[in-house]
Structure 1
Amino acid sequence: MELEFLYALLFFLPVAIQETTYTGVSAVAVDHTKVKDASVCQLQPDVGPCRGAKHQWYYNITLRECALFVYGGCEGNGNRFEKKKECRTLCVKKEKKDACKQPKDSGPCMALSYRWYYNEATDECEMFAYGGCQGNENNFATEEECRAKCVKAPKPPSTSSGICMQPSDSGPCRARHTRWFFDLDERKCKKFTYGGCEGNSNNFESKQECEAKCLEELKSFGICGQPADTGNCRGKEQKWFPQSANTKM
């Protein structure tokens, strides 16, 4: 009986050792693989369940830069790099030319973050959907930051038939900026919500700016710039007055 047990032990022990060694090597090989794609850059840093304390680098999707974090030593995810250079190589696209001359670039990741870029063709800052990683430097958190960096000059003055007679236009984007437009029918400046891109020139940041532009121009219209006035009497005599193209009938 003892000989049979010894024989079985000698037979199975090398196999068990071989399988354990193979499994261990395989696990290490998978855990340390360098094959990563840019999608890992949008993952949140994961310290894992172990209690080690190893400094590693991860890509911070908010700051758009690589930062340190303490890794526990096991599991976690692919947004983890031993060196900052490795993190930047995969997640931060290097651009040396002027940020304002770079094209709009949403990057390869699939997050949805509304940012601003400078459109050199129109000399305006416009909103776009940023994926969260890579892209380029033509990428700003606010319209104001973009304009301060890139816009060359204010919009050229338009004639009264251009600005003040246009209807309010919120544009296709979904931001919520409070702006002012001139309502030609009511002959006054009114608030509206601007989406952040496109729209038209009847769009002012303040009521004062709107009035300075449009009320002053009304004076040059003479009687044609005055609103219709029925007067105090109760007669019903039909008369005619000029209306703007966007008057609701």
Structure 2
Amino acid sequence: CNEACWRIDKVPHRCRLEVSKGQCGVRTGKYFFNLISMTCEKFISGECPNNKNSFPDKDTCMAYCAPKKSPSFCYSPKDGGECSGNVTRYYFNPRHKACEAFTYTGCGGNDNNFDNIEDCTRVCLKAVKKEKNEK
């Protein structure tokens, strides 16, 4: 997801930064946006300056960082690739508004290609639900 997620322009730059754990002073729990899981996760940090991918609570983090719309690659067609492998992967089917299994050959294809259904759902389906709820 790293390469694909860096191209998701709906995720603010601040939320695409690696987690930065300050090591001095009182250590407290904060939240950062994880591009791989596409959700906010807790980490322990000191009082030293962190980078901007640091939020006081999960709700603030998700409100700021979580994509409001599905990334455009979620609407790319299923593409099995160009090699001879046989690997089960998952893609978002916009017609069914669901993540579905497909056979990936191991090379080529497009970014609508996830290792597991959880990642597909997190990246593509949750944003679709948000779009519907905001109308």
In the other structure, the counterpart of 2:89 is 144
- 1:62-73 to 2 correspondences below 5 Å: 62-73=36-47
Aligned residues: 87
Q: What's the offset of the Cα at 1:126?
A: 4.5
Task: After TM superposition, give the deviation of residue 103 of structure 1 in Å.
Answer: 6.6
Q: Cα offset for 1:77?
A: 0.9
State the identity %: 23
Runs of 4+ with deviation above 4 angstroms: none
Post-superposition offset of 1:84? 0.9
| Structure 2 counterpart of 1:125, from 68, 75, 78 | 78
Tell me, in whole angstroms, the C-alpha distance in 1 between the residues paired with 2:49 and 2:16.
17
Gaps of 5+ in 1: 1-36, 96-101, 106-116, 128-141, 152-174, 178-193, 198-249
Distance 2:46 2:71 in 1: 40
Normalised TM-score (structure 2): 0.51
For 2:37 and 2:78, locate their aligned partners in 1 and report how far apart those are by CA, in whole Å: 21
Counterpart of 1:40 in structure 2 is: 14
User: Contact 1:118–1:126 at 8 Å: present in 2 too?
Assistant: no
Describe the shift of the 1:150–1:118 C-alpha distance in structure 2 as closer, same or farther (beyond 3 A). Answer: farther
Backbone CA RMSD of aligned residues: 3.3
Aligned to 2:48: 74
TM-score by length of 1: 0.29
Residue 38 of structure 1: how far off its partner (Å): 1.6
* Contact 1:53–1:71 (8 Å) recurs in 2: yes
1:93 is paired with a residue whose SS is: coil
> Aligned ranges for residues 171-210 of structure 1 at < 5 Å?
177=106, 194-197=107-110
**Secondary structure at 2:72's aligned position in 1?**
coil
Which fold has the larger relative contact order, with Cα–Cα distance below 8 Å and residues 6 or more apart in sequence? Answer: 2
The answer to whether the Cα contact below 8 Å between 1:118 and 1:150 also exists between their aligned partners in 2 is no
Q: 1:80 deviation in Å?
A: 0.5
Query: Is the contact made by 1:58 and 1:67 (CA closer than 8 Å) also made in structure 2?
Result: yes
CA distance in 2, matches of 1:49, 1:67: 18
**2:35 corresponds to:** 61
> In the alignment, is the contact (CA less than 8 A) between 2:31 and 2:54 conserved in 1?
yes
| Partner in structure 2 of residue 7 of structure 1 | none
User: 1:46 offset after TM fit, Å?
Assistant: 1.1
Residues 60/51 of structure 1: CA separation in 2 closer, same or farther (3 Å cut): same
Gaps of 5+ in 2: 1-10, 81-86, 94-98, 111-135
Which one-letter code corresponds to 1:56 in the other structure?
K
Identify if the C-alpha distance between structure 1 residues 144 and 176 changes in structure 2 by more than 3 Å, giving closer, same or farther. closer
Q: Compare CA radii of gyration and give the structure with the larger one.
A: 1
Within 5 Å, which residues of 2 pair with 1:79-90?
79-90=53-64
